[in-house]
Structure 1
Amino acid sequence: MTVQPDPSHAAPADAQQGAHAASARTATARPAAPRVAFPVGAAALAPYSIAARPRREVDERAVPAMVLAAWAAVFVNVLAFAGNATVFPIPRIVGQLITQGALGLALGLALLANRRRVIRPHLFLVLLTMLALVAVMVSFHNQYLLSSVFRACRLLGFATVLWVLSPWFGRRDMLLLRCHLICLRAVLGTVVVGALLSPGLAFSFDGRLAGVLWPIPATQVAHYAAVLLCVTVILWLCRVVSGRLTIATVVLVTPILLATHTRTALLAGVVGMAVAGASLFLGHARVRRTSALGAILAVLAATVFASQITDWLLRGQSAQDAGKFTGRTKVWSQVFAVHRTPIHEMFGNGMSNLSFNGLPIDSNWVATYLDEGWFGIAVEAAILVALLLLAITHVRGPRRAIGLFLLVYCAIASVTETGLGNPSPYILDLAVAAALLAPEAHGVER
């Protein structure tokens, strides 16, 4: 290291010449190292800080093709094959082979994506696997042995695929959420195309929009539309996606949701959005402005269009029928009226087709009591509580807000829909919520 002389003292001429000669020898023997400037303070953290980077970068990164393919296969596995007519007739056996066979494809694709065979422990996956294992054991005592065991093994296989995809839990770029949104857009795209090709067929069930390219019931169409719409709005509130994408989603998806005439999806979406917005209220000025504007518009709409809103909610039913959940309470009463042994009350009768005496149960908690008993209800409640605690302790931001929305949405929908105890879009939504609320991954498959 060369020490610069003090300019206040003049050095002798011979000393200066000796210093110059020494500097020349040093330069000849060792080239000077390039000077590198290291930023300090906030500038040093900018490349690694989420706040310093543009928010929209998260949404513009390329999605790994193998992970997307595996998630798409899982999504196909939970698609319902309803009995409504389609534009191009699909035999029921073919539809079931496609949906149920997609689980094996999803497992293979997930293994190809996770070449290092890394798994991340997560309480959600542990509880889901425990539920599946007990369901397999109980199903061996069901009177419909083969079908019951098959459904239980399918749930176990579904949990296995999620275990293989667990390395992508806890990512800052929300990879699994982005895969989920891509699948939602694709499915709703088929619904729109089917409605354009055959509008009479698409609205043939009580005037409610359903899928007719692939037979998707109106309730599931509403579920997909509500999740896509609300999640996109939350991402916009957090400045993760652009305004153009948000406007396009609102303009295209809102009519789909309204055309399904599904009260459960609308109520769950509104309450979920309120909870997600409350979690962001203090930290985002855009959320506060949007909430105020939304409250004003809601009051105006309720005042001006009160009769139209009431007609839409009742769907031609009486207020008494709507209060009884469209006759669902009769089936629920029949399920609980059946005498059971203590072992059946605790662990249920094994996996079924979610019906009782030929009628759909249409309640997750009643169906779980029938199939997996009080044990299944306790495990599913534990899943919701565990995810809620993760959300409460998670840092404020889009991951926490979307996780809360999905959790609240599934909890409300579980009253009049089935799906938390078997492979379904609802348990897939909870898997996305678990991935968002998981701690950030370090040293695993990225």
Structure 2
Amino acid sequence: MNEERTPKTVGTVWGLLILNTLGSTGAETIVPLPRSLIQMVTMGALVAAFVLALAVNLRLRVRPNAYLFLLTLLLVPSLLSSADLGSGFGALFRCARLALFIGTLWLLSRWWDGGLTFVRHHIRMYFAVLASVAAGAVISPGAALPDLYGGRLVGALWPLTPPQIGQYAAVIIGLTVLLVLGGRTDRGSAALVAVPSLILLALTHTRTATLGMLAGLLLAIGSLVLTSSAARRFFAWTVLCAAVAAVGFSSWLQSWFLRGQSQENFASLTGRQKVWDALLAAPRSTSEYLFGAGLGDKSYGGLPIDNSWLAVFQEQGMTGVVLVAAFIAVLGAVALLRPPSLARACALFLIGYCALASYTEAGLGDASPYLLHLALAASLLATPAADTSPAPQAPRRRVPGWARRTEVT
């Protein structure tokens, strides 16, 4: 199955899923947007995505996929922990959202064939999101670089936080670089995407996104070094530039990395460690230990958890942690067993990025961009579907009467 045979509606569905995961909280925008309106837009996008996916796949043809199977199993602890309404009706609403999100991915799995179609959809949609961020910065620099966030770039048109913008920029930079190395796009087009994204990433001062991008690219390019001369050259130049930067710009890099924080604040991961310690020390019943306290807003004591594993443990218990670890391990194992290819390199980049970012960002247990990144990795690791359409038959050749053999009696 190739890109030409994938319906254009599939790209629209993927874009709507991305819109759904943008979130409803963040910085103050130029034109104040009520949270109810934002939630209506994001939830409406998810419903529209499911309806469109169903319309384009009315026969409900899906492809077996270990990632989606384990993700579906994650609904079990989510529902068990949310059913008693200990976390309010919002927990059941989030369960319904997660179920609809997973259902849409199942419907799209019909077109998961190891090709780069969904990579292009991913880059285009997130670049459009970054374009809105850049437009907000041009229209109102003060709103886009507020003192509340320490002068870091935020979304002034749509409420996006610096970590969100950094994540989107880092992911499309990494995927674009890999497409260039694989010869699937020209350098001019890649520069139009990667260079502005890199500038926005630098303005967000997001350490997790930067380190995740570098680690993911190192893993992905390393998988191509033995088979691609372009990857070898890029790797050599990257190492050389990194060495020069480390020597000549060490003080600037250190200043950017610390973001004006004290060593003590940096060592405690900007206060995250205190929240993590309090969460782990809290008493729990057996049910809460196994299945969690129900899907919430990824916070504890009114403060963000900012760790996917602890957020899953809090909301879906150890059962959820095991399932999340399982689908990341399965994706990683399948990627490592695949022969070297551009699709495999893109999948390794996404898996490596999500694995590293999970330490300081939440999102692996609920509908989020991280689950979409991993879904993209799963689509890249899928084997091409066998073409079951009947082969065209050659037209029958008409034999002249004089050439036919006659039986002599």
Q: Fold conserved (TM > 0.5)?
A: yes
Q: Decide which moves more: 378-387 or 241-250.
A: 241-250
CA shift at 1:247, angstroms? 2.1
Tell me how far apart the structure 2 counterparts of residues 244 and 74 of structure 1 sit (CA, whole Å). Answer: 29
Out of 121, 127, 143, the residue aligned to residue 201 of structure 1 is: 143
Matched, 1:262 2:206: yes
Tell me how far apart the structure 1 counterparts of residues 114 and 382 of structure 2 sit (CA, whole Å). Answer: 8
Tell me how far apart the structure 1 counterparts of residues 168 and 5 of structure 2 sit (CA, whole Å). Answer: 23
CA shift at 1:442, angstroms? 2.1
CA shift at 1:243, angstroms? 1.1
Matched, 1:161 2:104: yes
Q: Aligned with 1:144: secondary structure?
A: coil
Matched, 1:216 2:160: yes
Tell me how far apart the structure 1 counterparts of residues 249 and 153 of structure 2 sit (CA, whole Å). Answer: 22
Matched, 1:338 2:282: yes
CA shift at 1:144, angstroms? 2.8
Distance 1:139 1:354, change over 3 A: same
Paired AA for residue 116 in structure 1: R
Q: Aligned with 1:207: secondary structure?
A: coil
CA shift at 1:354, angstroms? 0.8
The residue aligned with 1:151 is: 94
Out of 10, 18, 21, the residue aligned to residue 78 of structure 1 is: 21
Tell me how far apart the structure 2 counterparts of residues 63 and 295 of structure 1 sit (CA, whole Å). Answer: 39
Tell me how far apart the structure 2 counterparts of residues 293 and 62 of structure 1 sit (CA, whole Å). Answer: 38
The residue aligned with 1:226 is: 170
Tell me how far apart the structure 2 counterparts of residues 288 and 372 of structure 1 sit (CA, whole Å). Answer: 43
- Equivalent residues of 1:391, 1:400 under 8 A apart: yes
Out of 372, 384, 397, the residue aligned to residue 428 of structure 1 is: 372
Paired AA for residue 177 in structure 1: V
Out of 399, 413, 437, the residue aligned to residue 357 of structure 2 is: 413
Q: Aligned with 1:165: secondary structure?
A: helix
CA shift at 1:171, angstroms? 4.0
Paired AA for residue 241 in structure 2: L
- Equivalent residues of 2:153, 2:203 under 8 A apart: yes
The residue aligned with 1:301 is: 245
Query: In terms of Rg, which structure is larger?
Result: 1
The residue aligned with 1:284 is: 228
The residue aligned with 1:96 is: 39
Distance 1:215 1:62, change over 3 A: farther
CA shift at 1:342, angstroms? 1.8
Matched, 1:134 2:77: yes
TM-score, structure 1 length as denominator? 0.84
Paired AA for residue 245 in structure 1: S
- Between the two proteins, the alignment pairs up a number of residues equal to 387
Distance 1:207 1:356, change over 3 A: same
- Equivalent residues of 2:114, 2:343 under 8 A apart: no
CA shift at 1:251, angstroms? 2.1
CA shift at 1:114, angstroms? 1.7
Paired AA for residue 135 in structure 1: S
Tell me how far apart the structure 2 counterparts of residues 285 and 271 of structure 1 sit (CA, whole Å). Answer: 20
Listed one character per residue, the Cα deviations across residues 274-319 of structure 1 (whole Å, up to 9, x for unaligned) are 0001100000011111111111111111111111000000000012
- Equivalent residues of 1:66, 1:112 under 8 A apart: no
The residue aligned with 1:351 is: 295
The residue aligned with 1:176 is: 118
Distance 1:261 1:352, change over 3 A: same
Listed one character per residue, the Cα deviations across residues 17-64 of structure 1 (whole Å, up to 9, x for unaligned) are xxxxxxxxxxxxxxxxxxxxxxxxxxxxxxx9xxxxxxxxx89x6973
Q: Aligned with 1:325: secondary structure?
A: coil
The runs of 4+ residues in structure 1 deviating greater than 4 Å are none
Q: Decide which moves more: 330-339 or 77-86.
A: 77-86
- Equivalent residues of 1:138, 1:347 under 8 A apart: yes
Tell me how far apart the structure 2 counterparts of residues 213 and 102 of structure 1 sit (CA, whole Å). Answer: 18
Paired AA for residue 88 in structure 2: L
Paired AA for residue 219 in structure 1: P
Matched, 1:311 2:255: yes
- Equivalent residues of 2:61, 2:107 under 8 A apart: yes
Listed one character per residue, the Cα deviations across residues 372-424 of structure 1 (whole Å, up to 9, x for unaligned) are 11111000000110001110111211100000000000000000000100000
Paired AA for residue 145 in structure 2: F
The residue aligned with 2:311 is: 367
